[in-house]
Amino acid sequence: MKYCTCIAACLIAFASFSQVPTKIEEEISFPKKPKLVIGIVIDQMRYDYIYRFWDKYGKNGFKRLVNEGFFCKNTNFNYVPTYTGPGHASIFTGTTPAIHGIIANDWFDKENLKKLYCVGDINVNGLGTNESEGKRSPVNMLTTTITDELRISSNMKSKVFGVALKDRSAILPAGHVANAAYWYDGSIGSFISSTYYMKELPLWVNEFNKKELAKKYLMEPWNTLLPIEQYTESLPDDNKYEFIAKGETKPVFPHNLPELLRANGGLNLIRTVPFGNTLTKDFAIEIIKNENLGKSSETDFLTISFSSPDYIGHAYGPNSVEQEDDYIRLDNEIADFLNFLDAYIGKNNVLLFLTADHAAPEVPAYLIDLKIPAGYVNEGKILRNLKSYLFANYADSLVLSYSNQQVFLNRKLIALKKLDLKKVQEDAALYLQNLDGIAEVTTSTALNNTSFSEGSRNLIQKGFNAKRSGDVMVNYLPAWVDFHKTGTTHGSPYSYDTHVPLIFYGWNIKKGSTADQIYITDIAATLALMLNIQFPNGSIGVPISHLVK
């Protein structure tokens, strides 16, 4: 009653402003809190894919999100490297690798002198698999996620799940206290998990796996959804910038999946075709139904990451008919998923956001042919040359690793030889600075002693974790990569890698858009204010003012 009286009073008071009553009515049509939050991450989505393929999309997928939701058109990653592990961690922790510690997908572990995988955990075992793919957990992530904070704030009554084909894309978003994260094991074609979360897989997961959907989706050739002559946004299907799969002689449609399955073996093939997105969506819907998400008085949270666009981008690049078809089909999956949510719980009870873990450049070889500066570096060669250079000066190579564009020096040896670490770092930096394809070089000493407020050094600093990162950080020139000449890769501080879509939709979201600069770390802070819960404990984000007014 109190509410009604208040609204009536407001309506009378503002009767002369015709816009105001509509606004108030809109606001009260939403429940007090969302029943379910859905965080969708698309692996390797450039923001321009919204526009480039707009005319090919149906009404109910990306177009529905843009037309009914709030589109932050100028959303960027604010650190390097723009890879999948750091990307998913940063979206959900609201901070950058400097603080959450996921400095790459895998990195040289200075303590144990070997590679460490971002979600590798030798202390847990796989569930549903005997492979090492099961030994996974979020243990290497140093801060809480928005999903952790939701669980803590509800005294663990809110349920949190994560799913993706890639383990890191399921595990990092779901956080440390998730009910479960599920990822795909291509050796058996099943969704698996680990003992970090539970003792055994739920019955419904086993039932889902028994359907062998991955195998079924690979039984027919991959053909374009629309007649191929309509893919006018992309390069011709047969072009030299695309990867040729084992079992094929040209990178063209139709891709004979049963034949490729025979030639390549293993159901990992599903990752590199759009049906990997179908499988992910299928499993996401099963989580919602079987775990009764959104059906209690507490807000639940499901994170979904679509991994296939990244595999397809790496193989064929952003200008391929393959990637265009992948997005047209992904649009259908999103439409399906939104339809499911309408029927299951209703749009106004779901707060959904969609973004990406990084974007991607054009294939550099294609840019070179267009006379646009671009190029290829060879990191193996950079490492060898740097080692010989330091050997000539110090009678020892002094380098343990060059990985993720970071040089890891042998600090023990440097101390033993009583060398000046700062001087060795600077020598290495000066040498690297002169190599082809290298734009700039920064040392850990500089990063520890100086605060860079803008430019790529600022992004390098936000990606620099004082404990885990290397001694010398290298940034390549725009469109220079260490990769083969077909397909593309990502990881740089440049706009083509950092600029991603961000759309909020559903509960309490009014239609609109902004061109304001939004950083990827702002998402978690925005969600925290919307849900009236604590920010993740390493958060550096600023809530998006349009959404939390």
Residues known to be catalytic: 84
Size of the site for Zn ion (CB under 5 A): 1
CB of 304 to Zn ion, least distance (A): 17
Which range touches Zn ion (CB under 5 A), out of 259-267, 270-278, 309-317, 332-340?
Answer: 309-317
Q: How far apart are CA 490 and CA 30, in angstroms?
A: 40
CB of 84 to Zn ion, least distance (A): 6
Judged by CB under 5 A, the chain residues 355 through 374 that form the site for Zn ion are none
Which range touches Zn ion (CB under 5 A), out of 121-129, 302-310, 480-488, 502-510?
Answer: 302-310
CA proximity to 273, closest of 298, 286, 256 = 256
Please state at what angle helix 275-290 crosses helix 203-210, rounded to 10 degrees. 150
CA proximity to 465, closest of 178, 67, 40, 96 = 96
Binding Zn ion by CB under 5 A: which of 310, 322, 325, 331?
A: 310
The C-alpha R_g of the chain, in whole angstroms, comes to: 24
Question: Between residues 165 and 386, which has the closer beta carbon with respect to Zn ion?
Answer: 165
Question: Between residues 313 and 541, which has the closer beta carbon with respect to Zn ion?
Answer: 313
Report residue 443: phi and psi, to 5°. Answer: -100, 160
CB of 424 to Zn ion, least distance (A): 33
Q: How far from 424 is each of 48, 214, 231, 387, 418, CA to CA, in Å? A: 43, 51, 53, 12, 11
Largest Cα–Cα distance in the chain?
Answer: 85
Question: Between residues 169 and 193, which has the closer beta carbon with respect to Zn ion?
Answer: 169
Give the position of tokens 């093939």. Answer: 269
Which range touches Zn ion (CB under 5 A), out of 188-196, 235-243, 303-311, 325-333?
Answer: 303-311
**Among all residues, whose Cβ is closest to Zn ion?**
310
CB of 88 to Zn ion, least distance (A): 12
Judged by CB under 5 A, the chain residues 366 through 425 that form the site for Zn ion are none
CA proximity to 389, closest of 440, 429, 417 = 429
* Residue 497 makes contact with Zn ion by CB under 5 A: no
Question: Between residues 310 and 522, which has the closer beta carbon with respect to Zn ion?
Answer: 310
Alpha carbons within 13 angstroms on the beta-carbon side of residue 87 total 33
Q: How far apart are CA 149 and CA 147, in angstroms?
A: 5
Please, is 455 exposed, middle or buried when counting C-beta atoms within 10 Å of its C-beta (0-12, 13-18, 19+)? exposed
Cβ–Cβ under 8 Å, residues 307 and 173: no
Question: Between residues 325 and 357, which has the closer beta carbon with respect to Zn ion?
Answer: 357
Question: Between residues 42 and 141, which has the closer beta carbon with respect to Zn ion?
Answer: 42
CB of 307 to Zn ion, least distance (A): 9
DSSP 470: -
CB of 490 to Zn ion, least distance (A): 6
State both tokens at 181. 């994260």
Helical (H) or strand (E) element with 333:
helix 321-344
Q: How far apart are CA 489 and CA 480, in angstroms?
A: 10
CB of 66 to Zn ion, least distance (A): 25
CB of 357 to Zn ion, least distance (A): 8
- Please provide the DSSP assignment of 411-464 as one string: HHHHHHTT--HHHHHHHHHHHHHTSTTEEEEEEHHHHHH----SHHHHHHHHT-
Question: Between residues 310 and 497, which has the closer beta carbon with respect to Zn ion?
Answer: 310
CB of 406 to Zn ion, least distance (A): 18
Cβ–Cβ under 8 Å, residues 529 and 364: no
CB of 44 to Zn ion, least distance (A): 6
Print the binding letters for residues 260-299 with Zn ion: x by CB under 5 A, - otherwise. Answer: ----------------------------------------
Q: How far apart are CA 248 and CA 243, in angstroms?
A: 10
CA proximity to 163, closest of 183, 136, 189, 177 = 183
Please, is 392 exposed, middle or buried when counting C-beta atoms within 10 Å of its C-beta (0-12, 13-18, 19+)? exposed
Question: Between residues 476 and 504, which has the closer beta carbon with respect to Zn ion?
Answer: 476
Sign of CA pseudo-dihedral 163, 497, 399, 464:
negative
Which range touches Zn ion (CB under 5 A), out of 102-110, 213-221, 243-251, 308-316?
Answer: 308-316
Question: Between residues 310 and 427, which has the closer beta carbon with respect to Zn ion?
Answer: 310
Question: Between residues 43 and 522, which has the closer beta carbon with respect to Zn ion?
Answer: 43
Residue 195 amino acid letter: T
Could you tell me the end-to-end alpha-carbon distance of the chain, in angstroms, rounded to an integer?
A: 25
Residues at the site binding Zn ion, with contacts judged by CB under 5 A: 310
